Structure 1
Amino acid sequence: MAAGQAAALAELASRAVMAPNDTGYRSVNPVTNTAAEVAARTQLSTKQAENQVGHAVQLVADFPDTHAALSAGLIDVRRARVVTDELGGQQAAVRARVEAAALPKAPFLDSVALRRLVKRLLHELAPMETAERARAARDGRYVAVMPASDGMAFLEALLSADDATALNTALTSAAADAKRADVAAGAPMRTVDQRREDALAELGWAALTRCADTATTTGEAATDTTVTRATVTGEAADHRPRSGPGAARRSPRPVSVHVTIPFESLAGLADQPGDLEGYGPVPAHVARALAAEGVWTWLSTDPGTGQLLDLGRTRYRPSKALAEFIVARDRTCRMPGCHRLARSADIDHIVPFAAGGSTCPAGCHALCETHHLLKHHGGWDVERQPDGSTHWRSPTGHHYVRPPDSIRPGATPDPPPH
């Protein structure tokens, strides 16, 4: 089944209709265009769909023997992934040599043992290429935040081994210092993991403090006929004491942390959750702590849907007013399945400006760079409806609806009609 699905996805990605126009951007290609279609069709996120489509294309095109082993049931998807993950970036000749050596043993190994075997074979069969790959791998480094339960989140990072070792050593040292400080102060003892996390978080809060002109937070508040709410943007807010390294490299520009909180919760009259931008619901006491030193901007929302109607501001620049409104209203990229924040996205004319599109709230929306380019060069059409939903037609002619994001914390939009 997995092999058949990979073949189907690879086939769809090979169709001419899925090939976007040449834009010069590597992120705009048949895989990302096909992934947008698959995400909308199957209720996956675009990232999940890109992962599936990319792996399918790679498996079918570059690893036909591994695909055949998967089709025959000799290996499962996890072991097929090991082969493509470890060999996908290698030269074709290296890929073929190592795949041929590893596949006969793959049915008798679990995925961890298979990965070790492939790594060892790379060093044995292609030592020069393996060293060069290690130098090039630094280009793939990244840091990502993924929501977890109960107001927590995972911080994932891919670093060079030396950078990771240096960070780990610093956290270990800071945790030891924190333990001695706790003992000296008679404070409750924290676990090693807690002290290490506190030290890492201190780096982030210290960076926010250093990169802001003042140690204040910028806030946004919202009101309508039935609910009064506040959205808080924190620039360098340190809302809890920490122990740790206490030093961080200054960021080249201020960074904001945005939290939406119902006014009743802010005032202590209720405990409705706040909404942390890029994460989701957080307990009221966390949102209150971030809002405590806020400077406020007022948002007006529809009492029934929670959608943004108007945006006030403490810093008024007419040239930025529309962009600020659209970012606050849309919250995320409007492509179905995409959850990239609108704050880091492009403001797109739904109807191109050159074709008579209007530069107004109804005529614009937020799209991340990749989906902005795919909309114009990948065969997608979109219309914005009065209720805030966006109706998309894909390159294959299918229709999808992206409902609006509600500003009101905890509100869930109605599912799109079928």
Structure 2
Amino acid sequence: MTISDAAVGVPAAALRADVEAIVALEHTIRAAQAEQLRLIERAHGYAHAVEGVHDGSSSSEREFATRAFVAELATALVVPEAAASDLVADAGVARRHPATLEALACGSIGLAQARSIFDALIGLPASAAAALEAAALEHAARQTNAALRRRLRSLRERLHPEPLDARHRAATAERRVVLEPAADGMAWLSLFLEAERAQAIRNRLDTLAVAAAEDHRTHAQRVLDAAADLLLAGSRTDHDGRPIAGDAAIVPRVLVTVPVLTLLGHTDEPAELDGHGPIDADTARWLAAHGPSFQRILTHPETGAYLSYGRTSYRVPADLAGYLRVRDGGCRFPGCGRRAAGCDLDHTNDWAHDGQTRHDNLAHLCRKHHRLKHETRWRMTQEPGGIIRWTSPAGHHHTTQPENPFLERPVPSVRTEGHPTAERENAA
């Protein structure tokens, strides 16, 4: 069936009009993003003034003022502090490189391309940075961000006055492992390391996967299973989960909070995997069965934990600390994802100012936000039920809820045989 040119003409014209409107809207968005960067840089200066930073302030005072502003921006935009920090960094670089900011404002490049240019400029001396920026902007409007980044890597290597081996040594100091929870009981585990080691690891995993016996798994699954086996146990397993002879084994520790009725098989209420979130009941029972030890944590008010030590002790006793770790779950600063096991227990009203060692005057704060509370104008107060209210230097209010508020729960319609309904087992 042939469609006439006249029949095609109307939808083609409508399509063209919509595409042009989309492009115009994109230019408006880019202009707004450029203006946002300008405003962020200006607000950064105001934030330093609020914290009392002046020309004679120390580098530490300036750093904490910036941290306070990053936290202000993150909580106001409801984004991770890492994302807010990137915005502040982009705004600072944009101020020093107005040509790229202007290209973003007029819509010839997008924010992703501008950030790629900003990233490439960091660490370059002024003359090399100017040459790189000019060369990048000459082609950026006609390139995708991926193509631009490839070009920038080549340009930066050619223009950078410092030898690559020296920069490589400095970058190696930043190597790390990153864990990011995902949906459906899964997670991403990433390694930032030297390129040659990364390629060697991938090659070895491919070799192990090819050498493995053929089974129902795909090649990608065998590669992943080989990596997980080597990292967890120092040994590899076959497709039935049996250790391969000759490989040494190290038993990993996993922290999971399991409702006791789930553990007994009476209900299928999900458990909590520390650092991740909910996991299914069958997985929780398997972990509990293979855990080498148990530490009992009972839900308030059946805890037996002494929740107040008044002024008799600054150090938080183990039973109170255990209660608070389960209550808070993690750092109580808005948006922070660090788990309680890696945080400090902070007196909301300072011990030095007559604060007591009580459950309603203690909360977990990661070291970064613990210092932010003491070194900047961020303030916190506790409300009943473990709710914490924060006030930012700009006067904005934010509340954080405890992960487990220990509220009364209805008793399930099963025989408990004397077990407390709210009891939880902490399998380590």
TM-score when normalising by structure 2 = 0.75
SS in structure 2 of the partner of residue 122 of structure 1: helix
Q: Which residue of 2 aligns with 1:198?
A: 225
Q: Does the 8 Å contact 2:385/2:405 carry over to 1?
A: no
Residues 164, 206 of structure 1: alpha-carbon distance in 2 compared, 3 angstrom cutoff: same
SS in structure 2 of the partner of residue 52 of structure 1: helix
Q: Which one of the candidate residues 148, 155, 160 is aligned to 2:194? A: 160
Note the alpha carbon deviations across 1:143-200, whole angstroms, 9 max, x for none. Answer: 111122211111122111122123212212221232xxx34xxxx3311111111111
Match status 1:293 vs 2:328:
no
Q: Which residue of 2 aligns with 1:230?
A: none
2:110 maps to amino acid: D
Residues 81, 246 of structure 1: alpha-carbon distance in 2 compared, 3 angstrom cutoff: farther
Q: Which one of the candidate residues 129, 135, 140 is aligned to 1:101? A: 135
2:220 maps to amino acid: D
2:326 maps to amino acid: A
Match status 1:135 vs 2:162:
no
Kindly report which structure 2 residues correspond to 1:207-226, keeping only aligned pairs within 5 A, or say none. none
Q: Which one of the candidate residues 267, 277, 294 is aligned to 1:270? A: 267
Stretches of structure 1 that go unaligned for 5 or more consecutive residues are 210-239, 412-418
Give 1:270 deviation, angstroms.
Answer: 2.4
Deviates more, 1:49-58 or 1:14-23: 14-23
Q: Which residue of 2 aligns with 1:3?
A: 34
Give 1:300 deviation, angstroms.
Answer: 2.9
Q: Which one of the candidate residues 58, 67, 90 is aligned to 1:32? A: 67
Q: Which residue of 2 aligns with 1:225?
A: none
Rg larger in 1 or in 2? 2
Identical residues among aligned pairs (%): 34
TM-score when normalising by structure 1 = 0.77
Give 1:332 deviation, angstroms.
Answer: 0.8
Note the alpha carbon deviations across 1:357-414, whole angstroms, 9 max, x for none. Answer: 2223222211111111111112111111121111111111221111111278xx9xxx
Residues 146, 23 of structure 1: alpha-carbon distance in 2 compared, 3 angstrom cutoff: farther
Give me the whole-angstrom Cα distance separating, in 1, the residues matched to 2:245 and 2:122.
39
Q: Which residue of 2 aligns with 1:235?
A: none
Kindly report which structure 2 residues correspond to 1:5-20, keeping only aligned pairs within 5 A, or say none. 5-15=36-46, 16-17=48-49, 19=51
Stretches of structure 2 that go unaligned for 5 or more consecutive residues are 1-31, 307-314, 410-428
Residues 318, 65 of structure 1: alpha-carbon distance in 2 compared, 3 angstrom cutoff: closer
Kindly report which structure 2 residues correspond to 1:15-414, keeping only aligned pairs within 5 A, or say none. 15=46, 16-17=48-49, 19=51, 28-58=63-93, 60-126=94-160, 128-178=162-212, 182-183=213-214, 188-206=215-233, 241=241, 256-294=253-291, 295-302=293-300, 319-406=317-404
Give 1:106 deviation, angstroms.
Answer: 0.9
SS in structure 2 of the partner of residue 401 of structure 1: strand
Residues 382, 127 of structure 1: alpha-carbon distance in 2 compared, 3 angstrom cutoff: same
Residues 74, 337 of structure 1: alpha-carbon distance in 2 compared, 3 angstrom cutoff: same
SS in structure 2 of the partner of residue 292 of structure 1: helix
Give me the whole-angstrom Cα distance separating, in 2, the residues matched to 1:362 and 1:318.
13
Residues 48, 310 of structure 1: alpha-carbon distance in 2 compared, 3 angstrom cutoff: farther
Give me the whole-angstrom Cα distance separating, in 1, the residues matched to 2:228 and 2:387.
37
Give me the whole-angstrom Cα distance separating, in 2, the residues matched to 1:25 and 1:339.
25
2:259 maps to amino acid: P
Give me the whole-angstrom Cα distance separating, in 1, the residues matched to 2:277 and 2:85.
23
Residues 91, 323 of structure 1: alpha-carbon distance in 2 compared, 3 angstrom cutoff: farther
Q: Does the 8 Å contact 2:232/2:252 carry over to 1?
A: no
Give 1:311 deviation, angstroms.
Answer: 5.2
Q: CA RMSD in A?
A: 3.2
Deviates more, 1:388-397 or 1:82-91: 82-91
SS in structure 2 of the partner of residue 105 of structure 1: helix
Q: Does the 8 Å contact 1:35/1:53 carry over to 2?
A: yes
Which aligned runs of 4 or more in structure 1 are off by greater than 4 angstroms?
17-28, 242-250, 308-312
Give 1:286 deviation, angstroms.
Answer: 1.1
2:241 maps to amino acid: P
Q: Which residue of 2 aligns with 1:217?
A: none
Give me the whole-angstrom Cα distance separating, in 2, the residues matched to 1:189 and 1:56.
51
Deviates more, 1:331-340 or 1:345-354: 345-354
Give me the whole-angstrom Cα distance separating, in 2, the residues matched to 1:64 and 1:281.
47
Give 1:19 deviation, angstroms.
Answer: 4.7
Give 1:109 deviation, angstroms.
Answer: 0.9
Note the alpha carbon deviations across 1:11-45, whole angstroms, 9 max, x for none. Answer: 22222246588897699534432221122223223
Residues 166, 123 of structure 1: alpha-carbon distance in 2 compared, 3 angstrom cutoff: same
SS in structure 2 of the partner of residue 372 of structure 1: helix
Give me the whole-angstrom Cα distance separating, in 1, the residues matched to 2:336 and 2:211.
42
Give me the whole-angstrom Cα distance separating, in 2, the residues matched to 1:84 and 1:144.
24
Residues 362, 84 of structure 1: alpha-carbon distance in 2 compared, 3 angstrom cutoff: same
SS in structure 1 of the partner of residue 267 of structure 2: coil
